[in-house]
Amino acid sequence: MSVKKSRPARAQKVLAALRTRYPAPHTHLDAETAWQLLVATVLAAQCTDARVNTVTPELFRRWPGPADLMGVPVEELEAVIRSTGFYHSKAKNLLGAAARVCEVYDGRIPNSLEELITLPGVARKTANVVLFGAFGINEGLAVDTHVKRISYRLGLTESTDPVVIERDLMALFPRAEWGDVNHRMVWFGREVCEARKPLCDQCEMADFCPRLEPPKTPRPARRKALA
């Protein structure tokens, strides 16, 4: 049986194994409200959750909600979030999101995908994280670097496009499991199925994992220095 045809059965085994290893999954980001989860998720782009968690205590102490962030000078916000990287665009997006939440949604975080993605800095992945983490809504499945890597290695998808991967995973796992599958894969990717040195000898899925690796993107040719 081909890897593709065996996906549904393998997905059931993957789900059972992840449930056993992580019976009570949760996000790595520290947040107490829907707004704080949105902010932390925006900051986590191209940054580790651990780093974000060192920044958000001061950020939320000074500006706990969207209304508190209204009118804050962008330079002041940039100084607080600088270590998360891409702080110029992140600060601009957070200020824009705060303004839209207050002006359009009366200070409340919307609980629909269509509305969330109208907020600056919020794309589908961030929206999925907020919907499940803050409201328990499974609208989709957030595909981060861990989910992308593990899904390919396990043969659950043959794509490296997050949009296609999400669609493949949504077809393989029950809707009620989407949010938890994301959390479990993130934990699994950090603790076992690492990018460079996966700990296959410690993996309960080793006997049915095809161990596929996505094609490597060729590096652009280096330009010769001008004489």
Helices 7-21 & 178-191, crossing angle to 10 degrees? 70
Q: Which of 30, 49, 68, 144 is catalytic?
A: 144
Is residue 201 flagged as an active site residue?
A: no
Using CA atoms, how far apart are residues 206 and 199, in angstroms rounded to an integer? 10
Q: Which of 90, 125, 168, 180 is catalytic?
A: 125
Q: Which of 103, 128, 99, 93 is nearest to 113 (CA)?
A: 128
CB-CB contact of 134 with 164 (8 Å) = no
Q: How many residues does the chain have?
A: 227
CB-CB contact of 182 with 146 (8 Å) = no
Is residue 125 flagged as an active site residue?
A: yes
Tokens at residue 145, please? 């670097």
Amino acid found at 84 = T
At residue 175, φ and ψ (nearest 5 deg) are -55, -40
Is 32 exposed, middle or buried (CB count within 10 Å of its CB: 0-12, 13-18, 19+)? exposed
Using CA atoms, how far apart are residues 196 and 75, in angstroms rounded to an integer? 37
- Active-site residues, by number, are 125, 144
